[in-house]
Amino acid sequence: MSERLQPGDRAPAFTLPDADGNEVSLSDHQGRKVIVYFYPAALTPGCTKQACDFTDNLELLAGAGYDVIGISPDKPEKLAKFRETESLKVTLLADPDKKVLDAYGAFGEKKNYGRTYMGVIRSTIVVDEEGKVERALYNVRATGHVAKIIKDLGI
Among all residues, which ones are annotated catalytic?
Answer: 47
Check: CB of residue 32 under 8 Å from CB of residue 134.
no
Let me know the angle formed at the C-alpha of 70 by 79 and 39, rounded to the nearest 5 degrees: 85
Check: CB of residue 39 under 8 Å from CB of residue 51.
yes
Query: How far lies 91's CA from each of 8, 35, 71, 109, in Å?
Result: 24, 11, 9, 26
Name the helix (H) or strand (E) containing 116: strand 115-120
Phi and psi dihedrals of 108, rounded to 5?
180, -160
